[in-house]
């Protein structure tokens, strides 16, 4: 069987892994102890990040024609790739944090949401809070005004009894105002009687 045919399944596997990836970060894992490697894989797995070691030539073939083709310059020496399809910053964040306690782990570079970054750029990406942290902060900022509003309304409700007593005299005023128009028709009825008086005064003149 030709070497190309033997390599094809691996290339297809890598292609399938990065197909819907939001980010891919390459690292040099040389020097990690078995225990460190196990811990790193566990942390990445818990964050739903795929982590695998592949030959550079296999990754180079799989990356061609995709956003991850920009990683070609970093495909030198032993390489492992961390891939996330759910959280674009997760691979960078976990790898950068782990590298602080494991000097042997070297971040080479990566592609996050279609943009290529070197090791320094991935370090900056790692400082971005996770999606869960951002959502938690957003929820907290939304709930804060609601909580303040509820507290103010509660305070107003507690003072409602005194306010109701003070408002009672004011409610009687409209009744008095409504009674005033009722007397107007009586005054209007008196007007025709006064107009009839001159007619009786003119009667003697006719004699």
Instruction: Determine the 3-state secondary structure of 50 from DSSP.
Output: strand
Distance of CA 21 to the CA centre of its chain: 21
Is residue 170 over pLDDT 50? no
pLDDT tens per residue, range 68-109: 999 999 999 999 999 999 999 999 999 999 999 999 999 999
Element (H, E) at 82: strand 80-84
Is residue 2 over pLDDT 90? no
Q: What is the mean pLDDT of the chain?
A: 79
Q: Six-digit token pair at 11?
A: 């290339």
- Give the 3-state secondary structure of 4-45: HHHHHHHHHHHHHHHCCCCEEEEEECCCCCHHHHHHHHHHHH
The whole-angstrom separation of Cα 104 and Cα 195 is: 118
Instruction: Determine the 3-state secondary structure of 1 from DSSP.
Output: coil
Q: Where are the alpha helices (DSSP H) in the chain?
A: 3-18, 34-46, 56-63, 90-99, 119-126, 131-158, 160-179, 184-201
**Strand pairing of 80-84 and 106-112?**
unpaired
pLDDT tens per residue, range 14-59: 999 999 999 999 999 999 999 999 999 999 999 999 999 999 999 9
């Amino acid at each position: 069987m030709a070497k190309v045919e033997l390599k094809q399944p691996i290339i297809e596997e890598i292609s399938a892994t990065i197909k819907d990836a939001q980010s891919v970060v390459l690292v040099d894992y040389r020097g990690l102890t078995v225990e460190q490697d196990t811990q790193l894989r566990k942390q990445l797995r818990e964050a739903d990040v795929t982590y695998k070691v592949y030959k550079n030539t296999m990754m180079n073939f799989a990356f061609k024609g995709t956003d991850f083709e920009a990683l070609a310059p970093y495909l030198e020496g032993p390489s492992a790739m961390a891939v996330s399809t759910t959280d674009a910053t997760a691979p960078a964040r976990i790898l950068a944090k782990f590298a602080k306690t494991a000097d042997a782990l070297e971040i080479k570079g990566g592609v996050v949401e279609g943009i290529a970054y070197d090791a320094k750029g991935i370090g900056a990406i790692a400082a971005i809070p996770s999606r869960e942290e951002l959502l938690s902060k957003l929820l907290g900022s939304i709930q804060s005004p609601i909580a303040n509003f509820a507290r103010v309304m509660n305070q107003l409700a507690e003072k409602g009894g005194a306010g109701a007593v003070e408002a009672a005299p004011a409610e009687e005023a409209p009744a008095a105002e409504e009674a005033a128009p009722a007397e107007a028709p009586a005054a209007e009825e008196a007007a025709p009687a006064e107009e009839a008086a001159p007619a009786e005064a003119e009667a003697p003149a006719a004699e």
